[in-house]
Structure 1
Amino acid sequence: MPISPPESWERPRKTLIIASMPRSGSNLLCSKISSTGVLGNPGEYFRHWDTPEVTTVARCLLAASEGKSENGVVAFKLFPEHFDRLQKDIRLTEWFPDPVWVHLERRDLLGQAISLAKAMQDGVWTSGENAVKDAEYTAERIEAALAKIIAGNGRWSAYFARSGIEPLHIFYEDIHDDFDSVCQRVGGLLGLGAPVPATAKVDMQRQRNAQSDDWRRRFLAEAGDRNSFPAVVKPMGNRARKKSGWTFWRR
């Protein structure tokens, strides 16, 4: 039985949800959105695998509090894994009715997969973090990351299609090239009367480096047969993941 909001719950006036997959630029987008001061303070409030003892209700309260800008807009981001857990406990639209959805993707899917394969090993999810260990190249890890990303993007697209939702589609590359336009489009969907203020400088650097470029060259040399058209990109099985030490985040 889904848990309904308590009588003391104040439903947000406006809600912005960023639907994405890891390594899509969601941290950068959330930081830039927060810097406007009027589009909410989106964060990963529903990240349950690090602190499974925190209930979904508590996370809703946290999102409504920490994710709110002074004008009453509440914002947060969701990965498919977040939604999987969330829907077991609550009905999303009971707590956050009629949200505005942004679907964030990355045009360079191979670059995203390489970035995910690296971060899952070295633990560097944002610029400025120190690696916990060296990341090692294998084509199998990149294939698994690519499969995960493609499956997640497909789940979001299917969710929007069957729910009659028309999200605002944004690509990671556009955040760098024309974020002012992105802000105005989001502000318009939220019904904000005035133009969204210019964003403050966000100190977050691109994480692509020489290692990323080397991994791309190696992967294309190993897996880039243009005469081969696989029926589906398959993630590793459990046995292969355990053998390689490669696992995705805990659910």
Structure 2
Amino acid sequence: MNPISTLFNNPVLDLDRLQKVEAMPEPRSRYIIAITPRSGSTYLCDIMKKTRRLGIPEEMLGLLSLPGKLKNIPGRTPDEYIRNAVRVKKTANNISGLKASWFQFQNFTAAMHDQAYLSGFKYIYLTRRDLAAQAVSLYKATASSVFHSNKQHSEQELNQLNALEYDYDAIKSWYDHIVVQEKGWQHYFYKNRIFPLCLSYEDIEDDVLVVLKRIADYIGVKPENISIPEEPSAFTKISDHRNAEWSRRFTLEYGLMNEATAG
């Protein structure tokens, strides 16, 4: 059985909270940021929240975090939960947003009964053009448990990160993982005739304000009302010289491996 379905078999719910959430009005516009890991989504969503006009996009569909989410956003079924999450994660201008990786989205929506509800979302597809750099970043994060700069990490975690060495096989595994997620999203969009707003990590690096305005226009918010928030993001890059070096090395070795296989 789908583990999401199992989670909703006997959920312990705050019924008073459920009633309050269900009484909230539906947003006038709702979107999902369709992500791949290490594509800049955490930073982007933080900036979006701080504009106070672009919804409150967060990961809401992941299996591991769902039990905690259900305490504040109760739902008796996956369908009820996602509708309530959309109600809660909206800004005063009635814009609501969620974000999800392909695997989170695939597992959660497979447990839904009314998938027609998904057609009411606008989709923002966030990827990274440099897949090698993305795979290196994901390898370093998963091997050390140092994912983001907004929290204090233990000395052990930081030591693991600093001691980490290049590992072609591990990076290749994460590279393939990213590609599978990209293909999953792309197939979903094609199958459902969805034409998402396509953004990249590199777009965010180049000019995050342009990205915010593009998102605003896409989801029905006047771009001229969007500006860079005065409050800085808590998220900054945690890369070092190894990221660029390992990305170049992996790209070279990956190309050579493919040539050898083809030959």
Q: Structure 2 length as normaliser, TM-score?
A: 0.75
Q: By how many angstroms is 1:116 displaced?
A: 0.7
Query: Which residues in structure 2 correspond to 1:6-155 (within 5 Å)?
Result: 8=23, 10-51=25-66, 54=70, 56=78, 59-60=81-82, 63-90=85-112, 91-94=114-117, 98-129=120-151, 130=153, 132=157, 133-134=160-161, 135-155=164-184
**Could you tell which deviates more after superposition, 30-39 or 80-89?**
80-89
- C-alpha distance in structure 2 between counterparts of 1:62 and 1:210, whole Å: 44
Q: By how many angstroms is 1:146 displaced?
A: 0.4
Quickly say closer, same or farther: Cα 1:203–1:111, change in 2 above 3 A.
same
- C-alpha distance in structure 2 between counterparts of 1:216 and 1:176, whole Å: 18
Q: Please tell me the residue identity of whatever aligns with 1:158.
A: H
Determine if contact 1:45/1:62 at 8 Å carries over to the other structure. no
Q: Please tell me the residue identity of whatever aligns with 2:55.
A: G
- For residues 133-182 of structure 1, give each alpha carbon's deviation from its aligned partner in whole angstroms, at most 9, with x where no partner exists: 44443111100000011111111111111111110110111112122222
Q: Please tell me the residue identity of whatever aligns with 1:225.
A: L
- C-alpha distance in structure 2 between counterparts of 1:24 and 1:194, whole Å: 23
- For residues 106-125 of structure 1, give each alpha carbon's deviation from its aligned partner in whole angstroms, at most 9, with x where no partner exists: 11110000011111111112
Determine if contact 1:184/1:195 at 8 Å carries over to the other structure. yes
Q: By how many angstroms is 1:86 displaced?
A: 1.5
Q: For this pair of structures, how many residues does the alignment match? A: 228
Aligned residues: CA RMSD: 3.0
- For residues 6-40 of structure 1, give each alpha carbon's deviation from its aligned partner in whole angstroms, at most 9, with x where no partner exists: 97574322102100111011101111111211110
Q: By how many angstroms is 1:49 displaced?
A: 2.2
Q: By how many angstroms is 1:216 displaced?
A: 2.8
Determine if contact 1:101/1:167 at 8 Å carries over to the other structure. yes
- C-alpha distance in structure 2 between counterparts of 1:227 and 1:194, whole Å: 45
Quickly say closer, same or farther: Cα 1:137–1:40, change in 2 above 3 A.
same
Give the match's secondary structure for 1:76: strand
Quickly say closer, same or farther: Cα 1:153–1:227, change in 2 above 3 A.
closer
Give the structure 1 partner of residue 220 of structure 2: 191
Give the match's secondary structure for 1:176: helix
Quickly say closer, same or farther: Cα 1:58–1:121, change in 2 above 3 A.
farther
The structure with more helix, counted as a fraction of residues: 2
Equivalent of residue 177 in structure 1, options 189, 206, 210: 206
Q: By how many angstroms is 1:48 displaced?
A: 1.5
Q: Is residue 2:221 matched to residue 1:206?
A: no
- For residues 173-199 of structure 1, give each alpha carbon's deviation from its aligned partner in whole angstroms, at most 9, with x where no partner exists: 111212222222222222224623202
- C-alpha distance in structure 1 between counterparts of 2:208 and 2:120, whole Å: 24
Give the match's secondary structure for 2:224: coil
Quickly say closer, same or farther: Cα 1:230–1:146, change in 2 above 3 A.
farther
Structure 1's unaligned 5+ residue stretches are 232-251
Q: Structure 1 length as normaliser, TM-score?
A: 0.78
Q: Please tell me the residue identity of whatever aligns with 1:213.
A: A
Quickly say closer, same or farther: Cα 1:14–1:51, change in 2 above 3 A.
closer
Quickly say closer, same or farther: Cα 1:194–1:116, change in 2 above 3 A.
closer
